[in-house]
Amino acid sequence: MLRHAARSLSPKQCYISPRVIEAEYAVRGLIPARADEIKADLATGRGSYAFESLVYCNIGNPQSVGQMPLTFYRQVMALVDAPSLLEDAVIAARLPEDAVARARRYLAEIGTGTGAYTESFGYRFARAAVAEHINKLDHGVSPAATVNDICLTDGASMGAKLFLQLLVGGASDAVMIPVPQYPLYSAQIALLGGVKVPYFLHESEGWAMKLPDLVAAYERCVTESGATPRLFVCINPGNPTGNVLERCVMEDVVRFCHERGMLLLADEVYQENVYDTRRRFLSFREVVLGMPEPYCSETMLVSLHSTSKGVIGECGRRGGYFCMANLPAALRQQVVKLCSINLCANVNGQLMTALMCSPPREGETSYAMHQRECDAIFTGMKERAELLARELGNVRGLSCQPVEGAMYAFPRIVLPERYAQRNEELNAKEGRRLALDARWALELLESSGIVVVPGSGFGQEPGTLHFRITILPPLEQIDRMVRAIREFQDRIYEQYA
Amino acid sequence: MLRHAARSLSPKQCYISPRVIEAEYAVRGLIPARADEIKADLATGRGSYAFESLVYCNIGNPQSVGQMPLTFYRQVMALVDAPSLLEDAVIAARLPEDAVARARRYLAEIGTGTGAYTESFGYRFARAAVAEHINKLDHGVSPAATVNDICLTDGASMGAKLFLQLLVGGASDAVMIPVPQYPLYSAQIALLGGVKVPYFLHESEGWAMKLPDLVAAYERCVTESGATPRLFVCINPGNPTGNVLERCVMEDVVRFCHERGMLLLADEVYQENVYDTRRRFLSFREVVLGMPEPYCSETMLVSLHSTSKGVIGECGRRGGYFCMANLPAALRQQVVKLCSINLCANVNGQLMTALMCSPPREGETSYAMHQRECDAIFTGMKERAELLARELGNVRGLSCQPVEGAMYAFPRIVLPERYAQRNEELNAKEGRRLALDARWALELLESSGIVVVPGSGFGQEPGTLHFRITILPPLEQIDRMVRAIREFQDRIYEQYA
């Protein structure tokens, strides 16, 4: 065979798409990777560490740190997956009658059982349950959501990726994202070769979003990059910032998007995680459809939700949905096509989404237990959110905004100048460019076993430093986290101040 | 607020990425969409059709057309998802002891239960099961696959998409694909803005792949498009063609890829679906690692598998894996990053993949029943594959290569010249550009309720026409399919010949 010129592309110096190289995802990046190494060391007795176990606070993964699944949902899912259990009268008699009835109903709706691909948008009965849930939640604003507006997805991520792909074809297309933001967005924009347009949230005002910043960011993008912003990403409640938006700000956002023909992508996966009693989650769908013409009928809105957060915390299930409002037919057609290329979301995620949107009702056998389970989880989260923000705020060199919602605190770190200089020196020696807060998080991990994500992974105002830490571990671990961070900061100040 | 120039982008004439517009996926395209409309008509009594139900033969979705799930796998999955069932001694006693033991073992391995995100590559115990399975299947070629070579995915599609994304950054990157091919590949290449380099299979020789065609296609791409082919996609057994490759051809492919520094992406999802007793599935991994230096240690290979095909047919689960061999560290690092952005594959797909790779063993309680279930499914597929190819080959104007493997027949259609002219006239009248085989498939659907996919959706030699039809429906429906197609072709010949 002819040896071709391209042979010079040996496997050793192989090609990689530059877009892939550019993409970053800190939530599972350098720090968690080092944590996994340490975990392996601890398991095999290698290395010498001042702790015996790790506390993973890098990712919102409740059931990995002790949260229990909601019993009813799991019972129904198991019965739907293994109808032989349902057909055994003895087994069926030992399960709550509403779980058995629900499983029978779902199986009748599915017809073929859970082993088949579903419609591209997902089971119709599950989409009907989502639509009913949304319409109730949004206080009956019209038009009501229908099954055709809902698509079931593998987690909320799949919906976010789909709409980014739909509207970002390359360097002439831009996306407005909050800073700090959840790095799925920046990573996807990099993979699509699009332009990121950051709008900054105001930390000192509880991470408030302000209209003049949006306008300025938009203008800067159009003038400087020449790209056209196609989507506006809003995360509410905020990740990693925990802020919960108020109606007046949301209306500003809607007008802002409408006037510029941007699609509003509302990431509302933390909608059930609002702890501050002065705040209430309000969906962008309720806001948009409640506004006057032309906003209510023309603002293109896609809302994302997931089974991974809330009190359900079924991350492994990869369940979720998106709901579309005011999307022109031409756009919807392409959405249908993209979904059909993906075949369908996994059925267990679809089932879990249906269940999340139609929990046991008052009067049903499982209602009381289900409510107890949900309340206990929520109360625990609320306690830890308050505790963590308060305690971290009392640590030397840290300040922390209230955790109004979501699952994270995002404290600001102030470090002695000499600690920063030392990072420069270490970077020079190690031949790498570790951000200052990444150095801090790495040394926190290596000295205490606490796994957090540096603020640089989410974006932050230049010159500021932060870290994201989940509120999810059980109380005794939260105590250990706070103590470890306090000792670590005190040591830094003693040594470098 | 300022009204900005971009306001002209009204929602009514909204922007869509041109890459999305270009992507096509016929398996769920025009014909299945029309089928869904007809199905809705039939359900509500609208319209007037010569049939009472549809036969969906457009997609390899066995459990949607009556195939039953494998009992043992479903029992284990249900118990792992709902440990409360396992803790109930009465329930546990009514289930096979090996299913109970397996569920307990999986739960112990998982630790946190199925509600948590897993490692980015998936459960370690599941990857170990996959690695063991692969090493056995590949007759112990070395080096053995390890858990680090395996990543669990949402169906095989996710693996295919990941490696296309990794190596296709835009118009300077090309991918070699068979024609006919499974349209996931062409759709993904379009979405990434890459260049498709088709290599044609030889229909008259059982859809044989030939080295000179590969060389010529490669040279043409480099000379004419200026793009560099980065990946070589090989589907074995073929989809939609059903051909099963022999070792000598596979060795040609390996040398061809190695000499050009291309990654070989081996789509082996139909590996258990080989019906022709003169053929045997041989994995590319076994072939590559069995070749002399430098091929065995340098050919970059990624093999894909899925829980959706074989005899397991768990499409809804969206389970699967990819296995990497000879990938340089730099490439592997980026693979890890891309997987981490996706968080992890859904856990039920992961469990199903682990189960598929470690079925009940001889001596275990469920062994005999499991074998019986698998054998019955396989025997049924084999019978229908032979029957369908033979019967369709006897229809006027059709010829059909043997279905050596996979789940489809891909017959060639010859049509009277006047039928082709009529399509041109209808297209002019309807203002669309329906391919001739799409017109044929549409009219077949509307007259008989049989849903097939036109060959133009997979690609075919210019001037030829085909359709893809699954071998999956039960025998009585296969009879109806053949009869309907025969009558349809006879009518066309009577009317237009």
Strand, coil or helix: A217: helix
The answer as to whether B157 is a domain residue is yes
Chain A interface, mutation test: which of B10, B12, B13, B17, most A Cβ atoms within 10 Å? Answer: B17
Report residue B260 as tokens: 């050009």
User: What ipTM is given for this predicted complex?
Assistant: 0.94
Q: How many domains does chain B have?
A: 3
Residue matched to tokens 């079925």: B359
Of the candidates A20, A368, A427, the one whose C-alpha atom is nearest the C-alpha of residue A187 is A20
Judgement on whether residues B303 and B343 belong to the same structural domain of the protein: yes
Among all residues of chain A, which has the CA nearest to that of B343?
Answer: A28
Is A366 part of any domain? no
Q: pLDDT at position B13, please?
A: 61
User: Which residue is associated with the tokens 């006919």?
Assistant: B180
Domain membership of residue A3 (yes or no) is no
Pair B157, B143 in one domain: yes
Residue A384 has pLDDT above 60, yes or no: yes
Are the Cβ atoms of B28 and A91 closer than 8 angstroms?
no
With a CB cutoff of 8 Å and minimum separation 6, the contacts of A442 are A30, A31, A34, A434
Q: Let me know whether A272 and A302 are in one domain.
A: yes
Residues 293-332 of A with CB under 8 A from B: 298-300, 308, 313-318, 326-328, 330-331
pLDDT for A3 beyond 80: no
**Residue A29 pLDDT:** 81
Q: What is the pLDDT of residue B28?
A: 74
The angle at the Cα of A365, spanning A363 to A367, to the nearest 5 degrees, equals: 65
Q: Are B147 and B129 in contact (CB under 8 A)?
A: no
Q: Indicate if A134 and A202 belong to the same structural domain.
A: yes
From residue A240, alpha-carbon distances to A27, A207, A453, A454 in Å are 11, 10, 10, 11
Determine the structural domain holding residue A441 and report its residue range. 16-63+371-494
Per-residue confidence band for A2, with pLDDT thresholds at 50, 70 and 90: very low
Please indicate, yes or no, if residue A432 is contained in any of the structural domains: yes
B325, B355, B385 - which closes a domain: B355
In a shared domain, residues A260 and A154: yes
Provide the CA A36 distance to its chain's centre, in angstroms. 22
Residue B392 lies in a domain: yes
Residue B379 is which amino acid? Answer: T
Q: Give the CA distances from residue B193 to residues A341, B17, B19, B174, B230, in Å, rounded to whole numbers and listed in that order.
A: 16, 11, 6, 9, 14
A157 shares its domain with A303: yes
CATH number at residue B84: 1.10.287.1970
> Does one domain contain both A256 and A136?
yes
Chain B (78-107) residues lying within 8 Å, Cβ to Cβ, of chain A: 78-79, 81-82, 84-85, 88, 90-91, 94-95
For B328, which of A14, A64, A75 is closest by C-beta distance?
A: A14
pLDDT for the residue numbered B6: 36
Cis-peptide into A328, omega within 30 deg: no
SS3 A156: helix
pLDDT of residue B381: 96
* CA–CA separation, B198 and B179 (whole Å): 6
Q: Which residues of B touch A69 (CB under 8 A)?
A: 113, 115
Per-residue pLDDT of A406-440, as tens digits, reads 999 999 999 999 999 999 999 999 998 999 999 99
Judge if A246 and A391 occupy the same domain: no
B250 vs B84, B182, B186, CA distance in Å?
49, 19, 22
Residue B6 lies in a domain: no
Look over chain A and give the mean of its residue pLDDT values, rounded to a whole number: 94
**Cβ pair A310, A303 in contact under 8 A:** no
Contact A145, A285 (CB under 8 A): yes
Residue B148 lies in a domain: yes
- Cβ atoms < 10 Å from Cβ of B416: 15
CA of A316, closest CA in chain B: separation in Å?
Answer: 4
Domain boundary among B80, B97, B113: B113
Q: Could you give the percent of chain A with pLDDT greater than 70?
A: 97
> Alpha-carbon distance A284 to A247, whole Å?
9
Q: Are B47 and B471 in contact (CB under 8 A)?
A: no
Q: Is the pLDDT of residue A263 over 50?
A: yes
- Whether A215 has its CB under 8 Å from any CB of chain B: the answer is yes
* Domain end among A294, A322, A355: A355
Query: Residues 262..281 of A with a Cβ closer than 8 Å to B: which?
Result: 263
Per-residue pLDDT band for A28 (boundaries 50, 70, 90) equals confident
Co-location of A268 and A348 in the same domain: yes
CATH number (domain holding residue A280): 3.40.640.10
Segment B478-491, tens digit of pLDDT:
999 999 999 999 99
Query: Which residue type, as a one-letter code, is found at position B179?
Result: V
Q: Do A90 and B88 touch (CB under 8 A)?
A: no
CA dist A69 and A244 (Å) reads 26
Instruction: Identify the segments of chain B with pLDDT beneath 50.
Output: 1-12
* Same domain for A320 and A197: yes
Q: Identify whether B286 is part of a domain.
A: yes
- 8 A C-beta contact, residue A455 and residue A31: no
Do B263 and B393 lie in one domain? The reply is: no
Backbone angles phi, psi at A325, to 5 degrees: -135, 135
* The pLDDT value given to residue B158: 96
Q: What is the pLDDT of residues A196-228, one digit of tens each?
A: 999 999 999 999 999 999 999 999 999 999 999
The domain that holds A457 is classified in CATH as 3.90.1150.10
Check CB contact of A429 with chain B, cutoff 8 Å: no
CA A231/CA A166 separation, integer angstroms: 10
Same domain, A108 and A120: no
Check residues A326 and B33 and name the one with the higher pLDDT: A326
Dig out the tokens for B117 from the structure.
């995100």
